[in-house]
Copies of this chain bind each other. A is one copy, B any other.
């Protein structure tokens, strides 16, 4: 993928922005990127998977509900009426969140409980913070 190349181009870009030209980027000057922001393909995929899992009302709301429940988690049987969509849609939503590492799940007899992972908690906190800062 392009990301490693992007990181290199970015460094060049900052210096060359006055020219307004796309400029030929030489492969020299590889001794840059000490910012630790260079990001590899797998990380991109992981981030996009996480973000896209949350970029949907039903799934976002499901996660909010799960996160609200705390460490004990919440039973699917309670998520479903709260979300107001079909049982199948709820199950798929929770499965997608689980696949993205945002919820953990456990069985208790017939019942299935979902709880938020630290990743999810952290991300929701950040969203709350940036929204709060933006609402000023």
Binding site for B on A (CB under 8 A): 2-3, 5-7, 9-10, 13-14, 17, 20-22, 35, 37, 39, 43-44, 46-48, 50-57, 60-61, 64-65, 67-70, 72, 74-75, 77-78, 81-84, 101, 108-111, 113, 118-119, 122-123, 126-131, 133-134
Name A43's contact: one of B5, B51, B52, B131 (CB within 8 Å): B131
The secondary structure that dominates the A interface is: helix
Contact A75 B17 (CB under 8 A): yes
A129 to chain B, nearest CB (A): 7
| Given A20-B77, A126-B123; A51-B48 close (CB under 8 Å) | no
Supposing A51-B55, A64-B39, A131-B43 touch, asked if A74 and B13 sit within 8 A by C-beta, the answer is: yes
Contact of A61 among B3, B109, B128, B130 (CB under 8 A): B3
Contact B54 A48 (CB under 8 A): yes
CA of A14 to CA of B120, assembled, Å: 19
A78 with B133: CB separation less than 8 A: no
- Shortest Cβ distance from residue A62 to the other chain B in the assembled complex, whole angstroms: 9
CB atoms of B57 and A44 under 8 A apart? yes
Neighbouring B residues of A39 by C-beta, 8 Å: 64, 128
